[in-house]
Structure formats: C-alpha cells, structure tokens
Structure 1
C-alpha cells in the first residue's frame, strides 16, 4: 500500500507499508525508474538514497526538485507521521546519542560521553521526536 506524502510534477511521493525497512525513506518514480529518499527523525535533512535502474534515472535537476519538495516542512512532517503510523519505529533504537555533537551516531562513531538510545517515538502533534536514553530517567525531546 502507498501512503501519499505529496506529489511533485505529477509524481507520487509515498511511504510504502509493505516490506519496508530502515532507514526511514519515501519512494517516487515512474514505470522507468524508482528513487528512494532518506529522511530522519532527529534532523530535517533529506538525501537521495538511490535510483533504480541507474540507466533510466531522471535528471539531477529533477531529483533535486523532488528532494526539495520532500524537505518542505509540511511534507517532511507528513512523511514522518506516515512512517511512524506504519512502522511504529524511528530506526534509532540501539544507536547512540552524542550530546556534544547533538547527533545520532553508530557504535563505530562513538566518542566518550555517547549514550545508547533505548527507544523513541514521534509526537506528530508537537512535531517532536522523544528519545529514551540508557541511564537517563528524563526523555530527550528533539523539536523538528
């Protein structure tokens, strides 16, 4: 099932609900190509993940337009809400929070002072990610 985030130039940008996996992402494409764009629950960046098949990929300009459309606050918020609704996960569990860098890092990128992310949830009403960190009774709230 496709859950519509938005459209751009007639192209449907959607979160899929079947056989999805981390990281959080949306799909867009035609019968000739499909692209995935990754988004996050701890920052507002969006990046092109991949295009298949590469031989049929659209212009770099169109891909950038699509990325910018997804980055619009209302579209990114909707993508997060739909991902959370379908997955009930943020793809952040067991990663680490680096408070000094205000960033999520993998165990390979860990520095002293990083703390394990035990769980998290997306609060769509407040447009906020709430992370529960190991050994910290208070949640970390990240306003998006």
Structure 2
C-alpha cells in the first residue's frame, strides 16, 4: 500500500508475506531500500539497500528516511501495518520501565518487564503494552 512519494520514489508498505520489524519499502528499479519504524518511538532508520553496488546517493536515502519520519507519514505507516498485519512486533521483548524503552539485555533488572502483548490505537496514535507480572501496563503517546 502506497504511503507517499518523495522525488519520484514511492514509499510503500507491503501487505503480503510481511514480517517484523515494521518497515516500508522503496523500489527504484536498479536498487531497493527498506526503512524500519516502530511503535514505541518516532525514529526511522535505513535498514538496507540492495544491491549495495547500486546504492543511491546518501542524500536520497536520508531524504526518504526523513520523509517517512514526518508525523503524518509515520502515523499512516503504523495504521496500515497494524490494520493489516495486527502486530506491533513487540510481543515477548523486554521493556525497561525506568528508561522507557525496549532493550536488548542479557539479564533482567528490577526495572524491566517482558511485554506480553502490545497493540496500536490509530485513532489516538498510542501504543499499549501489557507487561507480564507488572501491576499496570504502559501507554506510549507517539
């Protein structure tokens, strides 16, 4: 599903056989790129470009990344991903309550909880986390 166009390149969310992490695609013919986004912060990052030998100028990739990071585009990307794939790709990851972030750690601390389930509310642009064993969940306003 098309998200937007930037300098003649279309950014899309693929809906068939898609997988985590949440990401959007750009297919320019001689190269294609994927950009990761998430449901717990508003940053967007370049995931990969193939083939690497046909990589476009950095300015093009940065422009695409910045365009996806625009609030309206990011909100639409999340709404499409959630609406079609029904996941925010956070289940069974670790949430650090003190740092307010998903963490990759080797040991569990007293500020970390496993995410049992997560959902996105497109109408309010919020992600809700249910934490296993925690007295309450987490509401993330994006």
TM-score (norm. length: structure 2): 0.95
Q: Which structure 1 residue ranges, 4+ long, deviate > 3 Å from structure 2? A: 109-112
Residues 114 and 17 of structure 1, relative CA distance in 2, 3 Å threshold:
same
- Structure 2 residue aligned with 1:94: 92
The aligned runs of 1:1-144 (5 Å cut-off) are 3-108=1-106, 110-136=108-134, 138-144=136-142
Q: Residues of 2 paired with 1:14 and 1:99: CA distance?
A: 33
RMSD: 1.3
Unaligned 5+ residue runs, structure 2?
none
Offset from partner CA, 1:8-37 (integer Å, 9 cap, x none): 012110110111111000001211000000
Q: What secondary structure is seen at the aligned counterpart in 2 of 1:94?
A: coil
Task: Report the number of matched residues.
Answer: 142
